[in-house]
Structure 1
Amino acid sequence: MSKPSEARLGGELRSQQTADRLIAELRSGLYAGAFQLPSEVELAAALGISRTVVRDALSILERGGYLERVRGIGTLVNRDVVRMKNRMDQKLEFYKMIRASGRVPHSDHLMVTRETAPPHLAQRLELPPGDPQTLVFVQRRVLADDIPVLYSTDILPLSLFNGQRLDTLDFTKSIFEIVANVCHQEVTKTLAHVHAVTGSPAIRRQLGLRPDQALMQLDETCYSRLCKPVLCCQTCYTDFFDFAIVRKLM
């Protein structure tokens, strides 16, 4: 099976960038408050891009539930979906979500360790069989201003760091930023399983939970643009976050 071409990947990137720009324009820009978008030709002229890129971007937004293209009527906007900030059916980056709430994110209780990959994690990360593989575990509490809001454990192969010393890296940054800038891998999608959990006593103490307060745990496998698993994340969220999901009828 041949690998995706760079030209096709570049086209997908331009379409996604245009889709992101259109969402921004729908929320607070040129099309803020609009319940219907102009034609593809008019959008291409307004945004200074080709009609093909516009068409692909509109397809992305329609799959995301932001739009419906109805023959004979045009491109209609679902304003309720546009207004949603934290969508569980899309890739989540909790630092961005905290900033979007008007608070400053930061981490403490940081612990970075190396461990031999157990079989279930080696399988999830598609590590080659044979020699034992070493994984890097990054555990931390995350706060919004002074409010503890989640506890995360991120797991990735040591080999992604290409021999760079871990003690020279700032692991208080977003793990996706570290993976992109240090490991040179771009996470584009995740497969997530959602659980309601009580959490360990240590995590509950760090998050300052009430006895009756549960956590939402996301167990995620994160993939690169070429569909390679590069990272496993386990994140326990408090009810500081208000998540939504868009479900389309099949």
Structure 2
Amino acid sequence: MKKTTEAPLGGELRSQQTADRLIAELRDGLFAGATQLPSEVELAGALGISRTVVRDALSLLEREGYLERVRGIGTRVNRDVLQVENRLDQKMEFYRMIRAAGHTPHSDQLLVTRETAPPALAQRLGLAGQPSPTLVFVRRRVLADDLPVLYSTDILPLALFDGQRLDTLDFTQPIFDIVSKYCHVEVTKTLAHLRAVTGSAAIRRQLGLRPDQALMQLEETCYSRLCQPVLCCQTCYTDFFDFAIVRKLM
């Protein structure tokens, strides 16, 4: 698999940064408590940016359910959505979720292996047809303080690392940071499947589960900005987490 280095797209990056800034301002900044935002012209002046960037940022926030722009009324704010921390319909990073819950995240039981790709994984990662592609499996348990809260298995093509020695890399970092730092690829979207599972005996033992306790399994294929599959993730969450989904019906 040929490694590609992807530079952020300037306009898109500025719009996303502005959208992130607006969320912060709506939560506890300039627009804290507001149920309606000022006009695009006023926002551009208040934030010191162009109206075009403001318009694009508002479009991003509307798609994500934070806002509704209604002709003749203006830009209304959904403050219930703003309060949600852990959204399954957005890119998630579980270290951040644990910190947001007031705990210190860390991982242990880290195991990094090289394995030949089975046909199903080769297909998901766009490696079908290559002779015996090698994958990197990163398995770990993640804790909130001293409480085990999830078990993750992340799977990447070895070729993404472009000959780097795996034993010199820090695999305790969040997987999206690893892909960005060592493989120079940004994950921008995932295709996820969600199901309740019992989990294997080994995973249940590592998470210290009760006999009647189920797990929520998130199975994801993650894609780059160029719509190329980058990695597969299988994460088993305990009931420590409380997730939400914002569904846009129109």
Q: Aligning the two structures, in what range does the TM-score lie when normalised by the shorter sequence?
A: over 0.9
Aligned to 1:33, the other structure's residue is in SS state: coil
Residue 41 of structure 1 aligns with which residue?
A: 41
Q: Distance in 1 between matches of 2:87 and 2:7?
A: 30
Which residue identity does 2:233 align to in structure 1? Answer: C
Superposed displacement of residue 8, structure 1:
9.3
Q: Distance in 2 between matches of 1:7 and 1:42?
A: 31
Aligned to 2:209, the other structure's residue is in SS state: coil
CA deviation profile, 1:30-52 (whole Å, cap 9, x unmatched): 11111000100011011111100
CA-atom RMSD in angstroms: 1.3
Q: Distance in 1 between matches of 2:123 and 2:22?
A: 38
Q: Gaps (5+ residues) in structure 1?
A: 1-5
Residue 29 of structure 2 aligns with which residue?
A: 29
CA deviation profile, 1:49-91 (whole Å, cap 9, x unmatched): 1100100100110011100111111100000000000001111
Q: Gaps (5+ residues) in structure 2?
A: 1-5
Q: Distance in 2 between matches of 1:239 and 1:80?
A: 22
Residue 3 of structure 1 aligns with which residue?
A: none
* Identity across the alignment (%): 82
Residue 224 of structure 1 aligns with which residue?
A: 224
Q: Size of the alignment, in residue pairs?
A: 245
Residue 157 of structure 1 aligns with which residue?
A: 157
Which residue identity does 1:122 align to in structure 2? Answer: A
CA deviation profile, 1:153-197 (whole Å, cap 9, x unmatched): 000000011111011111111111110001101011111000100
Superposed displacement of residue 128, structure 1:
5.4
Matches within 5 A, 1:52-201: 52-127=52-127, 129-201=129-201
Superposed displacement of residue 28, structure 1:
1.2
Which residue identity does 1:193 align to in structure 2? Answer: H
Aligned to 1:182, the other structure's residue is in SS state: helix
Which residue identity does 2:38 align to in structure 1? Answer: P
Q: List, as ranges, runs of 4+ consecutive aligned residues in structure 1 with deviation greater than 4 Å.
A: none
Q: Is the 8 A contact 2:195 2:216 kept in 1?
A: yes
Q: Distance in 1 between matches of 2:174 and 2:88?
A: 18
Which residue identity does 2:75 align to in structure 1? Answer: T
Give me the TM-score of the superposition, normalised by structure 1.
0.95
Residue 209 of structure 2 aligns with which residue?
A: 209
Q: Distance in 2 between matches of 1:57 and 1:248?
A: 18
- By relative contact order (CA 8 Å, sep 6+), the higher-ranking structure is 2
